């Protein structure tokens, strides 16, 4: 038994590396906003007041490029905040090695994916390359897509060919007939999403030992959530057929499969679906009772995001030298960034603190 127990313990060198990583990520986590800072942010006077307050917090580095601008636009501020979250994810991944690092790199690529979608949208709508460049999240240079070439393409089909040699090219080529038929980017963006999240799941599956369980719980739960939300969105907002919905989702994730997606497409309620996946004692959907489907879906999305955030909070407080602490921080950082963006949007249109608080994913801890 002693020998078996020892097999699950990290080597002294690995433990030392993880201890150092843990100390550094706790330093990053200390930059997350406290409850008091959130209260101050929500009470700040307008968009400008909220921005000035954020510049005194852990977001000072992110907002530094905007210092001195009389009236920075909400769009520019959002791009800087997203860039900061992407940078923090990259930094966290640099603290580990091997397959663990590959998981962080795979997860980081969703920022790259957002920029790629932006390029497709810009070209589809006929924007010039500088206008498209101005819309991108300013990610630091990383090995990846040929951005200069992509930004100078003038057609969507040309963009697809520019991805030759990347993991996106085959799904994009498969989406060409639907793009030409419908003259929308729907099939293109679905192809990109499905390819990307399959890559994340595969990176998690390559983990072994104590790293795999927290990565699976945190990242593959999110993929489960996305698959469920996609299926409902395609049914409620797009009116797609069950066959189309199955084709435009992931056929198998950790807790979902084509049969469950088909049930959603045929009208299964969120309560039934959530009970099958996670158990209704884990996710309270009682606030959805009696709501029309169009009203239900945004609340379902926020409820599932809050469930995912709760998993990240527990992981960050868990075993101090494990993968869960690092991933928990990365997820909480990104969710906080989303909430900060929502708060700034609310400030920009004059919402009250109470109204803004209603759309946030964060809760009291």
Domain ranges of the chain: 15-142+318-365, 208-316
Measure the CA–CA gap between 228 and 272, rounded to whole angstroms: 12
93-102 long-range Cβ contacts below 8 angstroms, 24+ apart: 95/20, 95/21, 95/24, 95/25, 95/326, 96/17, 96/18, 96/21, 96/323, 96/326, 97/17, 99/203, 99/206, 99/207, 99/208, 99/211, 100/207, 100/211, 100/323, 102/203, 102/206
pLDDT value, residue 4 = 35
Per the CB < 8 A criterion, the answer to whether 262 and 242 are in contact is yes
Structure tokens at 31: 């930059």
> Rounded to a whole number, what is the largest CA-CA distance in the chain?
67
pLDDT value, residue 5 = 36
Name the percent of the chain lying above pLDDT 70. Answer: 90
pLDDT value, residue 65 = 86
pLDDT value, residue 332 = 96
pLDDT value, residue 1 = 36
pLDDT value, residue 304 = 96
Nearest Cα to Cα of residue 254 among 281, 297, 217: 217
Nearest Cα to Cα of residue 96 among 35, 18, 181: 18
The residues of the chain scoring below 70 in pLDDT are 1-29, 141, 319-321, 363-365
pLDDT value, residue 12 = 55
pLDDT value, residue 322 = 77
pLDDT value, residue 31 = 80
């Amino acid at each position: 038994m002693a020998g078996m127990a020892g097999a699950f313990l990290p080597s002294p060198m690995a433990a030392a590396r993880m201890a150092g990583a843990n100390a550094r990520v706790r330093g990053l986590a200390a930059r997350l906003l406290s409850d008091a800072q959130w209260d101050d942010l929500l009470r700040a006077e307008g968009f400008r007041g909220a921005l000035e307050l954020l510049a005194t917090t852990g977001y000072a580095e992110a907002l530094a490029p905007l210092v001195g601008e009389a009236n920075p636009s909400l769009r520019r501020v959002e791009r800087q905040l997203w860039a900061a979250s992407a940078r923090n994810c990259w930094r966290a991944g640099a603290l580990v090695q091997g397959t663990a690092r590959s998981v962080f790199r795979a997860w980081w690529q969703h920022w790259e994916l957002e920029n790629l979608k932006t390029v497709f949208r810009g070209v589809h709508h006929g924007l010039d390359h500088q206008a498209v460049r101005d819309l991108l999240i300013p990610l630091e240079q990383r090995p990846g897509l040929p951005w200069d070439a992509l930004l100078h393409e003038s057609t969507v089909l040309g963009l697809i060919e520019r991805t030759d040699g990347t993991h996106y090219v085959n799904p994009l080529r498969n989406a060409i007939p639907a793009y030409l038929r419908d003259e929308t980017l729907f099939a293109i963006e679905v192809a990109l999403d499905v390819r990307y999240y399959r890559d994340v799941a595969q990176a998690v599956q390559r983990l072994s030992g104590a790293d795999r369980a927290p990565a699976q719980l945190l990242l593959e739960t999110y993929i489960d959530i996305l698959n469920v939300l996609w299926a409902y969105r395609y049914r409620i907002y797009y009116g797609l057929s069950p066959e189309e919905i199955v084709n435009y989702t992931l056929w198998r994730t950790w807790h979902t499969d084509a049969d469950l997606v088909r049930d959603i497409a045929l009208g299964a309620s969120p309560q039934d679906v959530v009970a099958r996946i996670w158990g209704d004692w884990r996710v309270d959907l009682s606030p959805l009772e009696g709501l029309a489907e169009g009203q239900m879906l945004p609340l379902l999305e926020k409820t599932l995001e809050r469930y995912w955030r709760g998993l990240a909070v527990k992981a960050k407080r868990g075993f101090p030298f494990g993968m869960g602490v690092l991933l928990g921080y990365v997820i909480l950082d990104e969710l906080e960034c989303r909430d900060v963006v929502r708060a700034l949007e609310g400030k920009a249109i004059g919402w009250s603190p109470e109204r803004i608080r209603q759309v946030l994913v964060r809760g009291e801890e």
